[in-house]
Chain A
Amino acid sequence: MFRAKTKDLRRTMSRRGLLLAGGSALLTSFLGARLFQLQVAQNNRYQRLSDRNQFDVRIVAPTRGRLFDRKMRLLAGNAESFELYVTPLYVDDLQQTLAALGQIIELTERDIKAVLLAARKGPSFRDIIVRNDLSQRELARLAVRSPLFGGVSFGKSLRRIYPQGALACHITGYVSPVTAREIERNQSLEKTPYLGTGKVGVEFAHEIYLRGLPGRERIEVNAKGQSIRVLRDVDAISGKDLQLSIDVGVQLQAAEILRRGQLAPVELGSLQVQRALAKDSDLQAHIALGDNLILQDAKDRLVPPESGAVVVMDIHSGEVISLVSAPMFDPNLFTGTLLTRDWRRLNSHPRTPLLNRATSGQYAPGSTFKMVVGLAAIEAGVISKNTQFNCSGDMELGNATFHCWRKGGHGMMNIISALEQSCDVFIYKVALKTGIRKIKDMAHRLGLGDLTGIDLPGEKQGIIPSHEWKLASQGRVWTPGETVVSSIGQGYVLATPVQLAVMTARIANGKQAVTPRLVKSSGDAAPDFAPLDVDPYALAIIREGMFEVMNGGLGTARNYDLDKSLGGMAGKTGTVQVKRITKAQREEGIVNNIDRPWAERDHALFVAYAPVERPRYAISVVVEHGGSGSSTAAPVARDILTQLMQKQG
């Protein structure tokens, strides 16, 4: 009995032992399954987490491509710049350290706040930038005291520099730190530290080409956040250099000649100048930009340099040789931390130096538009070379009277003498016979009213009005009177200086619809432009008229021709009313341009191509409120072309 029971018990125990063995095997396979889940099934996820633990990934900013002029002179480059960093991990009292640093270098309240915020947000081992663009003096002062500051270190990076200063500011544009709005559009920008992006100019237009691709390095950090080593995963790919068609030499002379205009230089240090500076807010704003050129006008008044624009381009390749917009600004101001003071000065300046007048300034083209009317009329068969109309000084249309600029009238005119003397009434009559539709069509073919496509952002397209345009924009029908006003490039008509240069280049070229470009073409392959599709016979007549402007006995610019040894030039003047002349004023006798306030004076325009035989260059000049197109703008064009042609010779 007892034995039987013992045997029974043994069996029970053995059974339970087996149960435990089975249970062990089951639990072990359970663990195995769990390990499979973690190590095999979810391996990728944990691999990523482990990498994030192990590495602090840092994006390395690429070196930005440089900009050169057509003769490989540097327009935009990169210079070494030093930054100050602080590593919160190694600093006992961050606030105190920053305060002490503030005694040695310039630190704003905002800088300090930004550092403290970054220290609170990020891991303590990550370096935080305290100041960039340390000056040599600040660097030296810090270096001497560096043993006193634990956790403070220097970094070296590249900063954009524009060695030509303000000279090419509207061409190159500038690079400045990435903005919040750019990051909104392109998240990847945020991760690249101290990256600058082009904001305007070629820097903006060719941003992707110039920027290059950021590299990536991983800093292996341990659990305490100390870095163990740096692994370079992806090398940064530098941006590519870009050669522009600009000639810095021509650019420099064009800027000087435009700014000087017909004004005379004065001694800046003289008592008279100092006195004027104290009173005149325009002069003060001008001086505050760091420009110390002050001039004297015909009435001995002290004035800042002329503002306006010059565009010089090659009529065959479309390459822009010079593009000036005055006043200018120093793009170097933007590359580091733009000071509020400088920003305010640039923005509150009465003559808007940040505006690129050459591409974004829209001006009534005035009499330079007469070529468009003439071409449209000849092509349409409305007039021929010898078709004559009488100019009596004014023209009646309905119950309105339209005046010629010359009070007594020009007498019998044909298209050539009308261009030579810039007769308004002849053009009025021709325009009425041709109709606005054909004029508009010709204007577009010559590049007006459309973007020229120059590689600069913010280009304006101007206005070439028509029936449809007026209906759409004002809801009213077109009147013949408006055709009359438009025919002399006033009223609604607007064009940019670069459009006027393109128009002139196409008239001179005759075969191709040249478009402007700022990038130097590689090799000699001529760019492939669309055919111009304008009657060559009509073009020849118009070119003859432009020749007479310089050479005719009564040519409006006869005194300002380019020296015949340089090939001479053919051009057209334009003087644009900014303020309407009332009937009362006309009867009283018009107040002389120079006696009006600056902002009410006429704009002076001039377009030309040179040399006359086998033309090469086209130029457009706008001198804002400069007075007459012949006496102010024409000499500017002549002087610039003289310099350019002499260089060629």
Chain B
Amino acid sequence: MRHVGFSTGALAKGDFRRGIDLQRSHCDALELSALREGELDALIEALPKLDLAGFAYVSFHAPSRLEKLSERELVERLQRLGEPVSAIIVHPDVIHDFSLWRPLGRRLVLENMDQRKPIARTARELRPYFDALPEARFCFDIGHARQVDPTLGAALVMLRAFGDRLAEIHISEVNAASSHVAISRTTSQSYRRLASLLPDSVPAIIESVIAPAAIADELTIARASLGDLPTEAVLRPQLLRNP
């Protein structure tokens, strides 16, 4: 069974403790989000004391934009991350000096981007990053991939190219404004096209920004989208949870 959980940022923005508590009874995977630079130090400092015992998989999302910190200062902080963080998710557009990032080795996980920035959106655009960082693994954001190409043809090429590096899946629906929203039925059905390329040994992190009351339904539709549950789960998720 695939480990699935939410990004703390999707459930509670910068309040990571609440983001953890909200999903504790539902999930066995978790991504600690420091997507905004200002959230980074507090999260790193709190990490050793957080109760993460129920989560079999924990990843950490690095800031997506640097305003005060230098690239070197960011990497130094990320290197301090210890157990249980097994993957550090990084947007390739914060990487300029590859030599700074190489010491992170396999813990460095690069994510494909949405349509807004002309880098790292397709296999061709990601290739230079993996060539320069040969140990880095791949976080496949299926929402970004579908925004870039709704047929998921480009996603297939990406998974063929970097599937052996696949460490984490990000799942949500990404709308025209590039916001992560709840997964619709239409989108879920299209995601299933890729199910055979997304082994259940790879954990999935849900990035849909939803209300706490919608956690169970979003978990169900995310699992169905990845082929972990039958299609009926997308059409009637409540029936599946309460047969």
A, B in one complex: no
Chain B residues within 8 Å of A, Cβ to Cβ: none
Enumerate chain A interface residues (CB-CB to B < 8 A). Answer: none
